[in-house]
Structure formats: structure tokens, C-alpha cells
Amino acid sequence: EDKVVQSPLSLVVHEGDTVTLNCSYEVTNFRSLLWYKQEKKAPTFLFMLTSSGIEKKSGRLSSILDKKELFSILNITATQTGDSAVYLCAVERTSGTYKYIFGTGTRLKVLA
């Protein structure tokens, strides 16, 4: 059965810390991997990764995909309280009933 697993489930850090969120997957017909940030209700898009080994970067956030080992990481450096959110990982498939399979998310809380 296809699945996406995120770890840790939750994390509490202090401002200025660096965090690494993990997403591993076992999915047939892989097309891309996406990261979303969910602060209140609507998940907002962060990154889409399709090629292995190429880092995507946006400010203090960066992400990389390893298609051989079937995982991705999301790094956040110099964390701020505004980074507190649930971070969702999703895998897009080329075919199948579930075009997008989501992980359960990592809940990050950044303390001032």
C-alpha cells in the first residue's frame, strides 16, 4: 500500500534553532513531492521537488529530494515564532486513484 510517513510528529524548539523535518515515501508511479505549511486552516505551498539531489531554497527554508532512498527533508534555519505550523508532505503520482498522498504532518512549535 502506498504511503507517506513524516517524522517527527511534533517538535518544540526555541527561536534561532535549526530544524529538519523528514518525509519518507513508498509510492508507485511517483511524479513529484510537495511540501505545504498549514498555519491555521489553508495549507500553503512551499516547494515542489521532482529531481533527486537538487536543493530548492526560499529564504530560511530549503528542501531536497532523494529518489533513490525515497525521502525528502525540509530544513528551516534560524527559526522564528512565525514558523510555528503543521508541515505537510505530499507525493504526486502519475496515475492511480489517489493522485496526491499526504503524510500526517509534523507539528512545529517555535518558542520565543
Partner 1 sequence: KAGVTQTPRYLIKTRGQQVTLSCSPISGHRSVSWYQQTPGQGLQFLFEYFSETQRNKGNFPGRFSGRQFSNSRSEMNVSTLELGDSALYLCASSRDSFNEKLFFGSGTQLSVL
**Binding-site ranges for partner 1 (CB under 8 A):** 31-32, 34, 36, 40-45, 48, 50, 88, 90, 92, 94, 97-105
Q: Which is nearer to partner 1, 80 or 100 (CB)?
A: 100
Least separation in angstroms between residue 5's CB and partner 1 is 10
Positive or negative torsion for Cα 46, 104, 1, 54: positive
Nearer to partner 1, 43 or 83 (CB): 43
State the CB neighbour count (10 A cutoff) for residue 25.
21
How far apart CA 59 and CA 111 sit, in angstroms, is 20
